[in-house]
Amino acid sequence: MSDMDHVTREWLADQVGGKSKLVSKEGKGSFAFAAASRFDRISLQVADSNTTKVEMMRELSDTQVDGLRSWDLDLYNAHTSSDELVAMAIRLFDALHVPSDFGIASHVLTSFVGAVRTGYFARPFHNFTHGVYVLHGCRMLFEECPLLQHAFTPLDRLALAIAALGHDIGHTGTNNAFLIASNDERALRYNDRSVLESMHCSFLFHVLQKPENCVLSTLETADYREVRRTIIGAIYSTDMANHFNDIAKFKNRRQAGQEWIAEEAADRQMLVEMVLHAADLSGPARSWDVSSTWAGLVGDEFVAQLKEEERLGLPISTFMQAPKPKLERNFIEFFVLPLYKEMSELFREVSARVEQITSNHEHWGTILDQS
């Protein structure tokens, strides 16, 4: 493992501090109110149902169906249409037994998934494909880890599935630091606190408010309150600012040595959050082809944000300028690998992911050495 260099330190400061230690550009006001983002202004008015309808339920090929049961699922390099992604998401809800447990009508689930698809923007990385990938990662972790099957209640699985698919809905393709620095209206609305995650939650529950999308309509009020609480906690846990604290909390709880029991709501919430966060960072836990494409798309968003910072005269996120192999190797080393290693202490089945992550880390290191 290499020492933490200044680029990584800056990144850590940016992610964990929730605001950048950035290099200011001379003579340009970083906090000028005029510096409004060109990116889509968030609208909590959910798209009309006629734009969210899925025209037909796409049949999936055997390869696609098999892929949903494998960490090798490749949604990037094997072309996957938008309707196929919807069909995959529905199958993943099925795999978590969500529709059968709660009597969710198929047209309601289809409408909900279609509305979530519409809510994602066409960003290079934070798009509907990413939502489906994260749902897939949750399914894989759930199926591979008997402890999760033992611990999670049906309501936890319902909350996890909804949170996973919608956790980045409405993502701007920029980070919280950018939204704060540019005085974006979302930062103003949410007081600079977990700006994106606050918006994703709110957006998602506005989608669920529409009767045709309401996969929660069969729940009693108390169950609805519980699912809502779980989803909100899970989505907030995807804010990288919480990354180190959440791992430390999990480690402390694990080292306390008591059994994880399904009756303990706080334990189950922690597990839901860890699973969602791990699935959100599951790019490096996948095959090299998927992992490297995933990293490339993140890099494309960085380039777009850097251009915006330049155009708006904002401080430049210099950590985003590092060469991709270095960025990715460091990201794996300081964020992803420690997370999966900690999880593998409780779930030994996660060890296979640790091996894959280690292999991808070495691959980036080799590329870096040769550059």
Contacts to Zn ion by CB under 5 A: 168, 280
Q: Which is nearer to Zn ion, 154 or 233 (CB)?
A: 233
The DSSP call for residue 257 is -
d(CA 273, CA 253): 14
Q: Which is nearer to Zn ion, 133 or 347 (CB)?
A: 133
* CB 200 to Zn ion: min, Å: 9
- Give the residues across from 316 on adjacent strands: 23
User: 10 Å Cβ neighbour count for 369?
Assistant: 8
Q: What are the φ and ψ backbone dihedral angles of 232, each rounded to 5 degrees? A: -60, -45
Q: Which is nearer to Zn ion, 173 or 313 (CB)?
A: 173
Place of tokens 């609480």: 229
d(CA 148, CA 131): 21
* CB 176 to Zn ion: min, Å: 13
| Angle, CA 157 vertex, CA 152 and CA 163 arms, to 5° | 130
Q: Which is nearer to Zn ion, 226 or 280 (CB)?
A: 280
Place of tokens 């923007």: 121
SS3 assignment, position 253: helix
d(CA 298, CA 121): 15
Q: Which is nearer to Zn ion, 168 or 246 (CB)?
A: 168
d(CA 234, CA 273): 5
* CB 302 to Zn ion: min, Å: 15
Q: Which is nearer to Zn ion, 168 or 184 (CB)?
A: 168
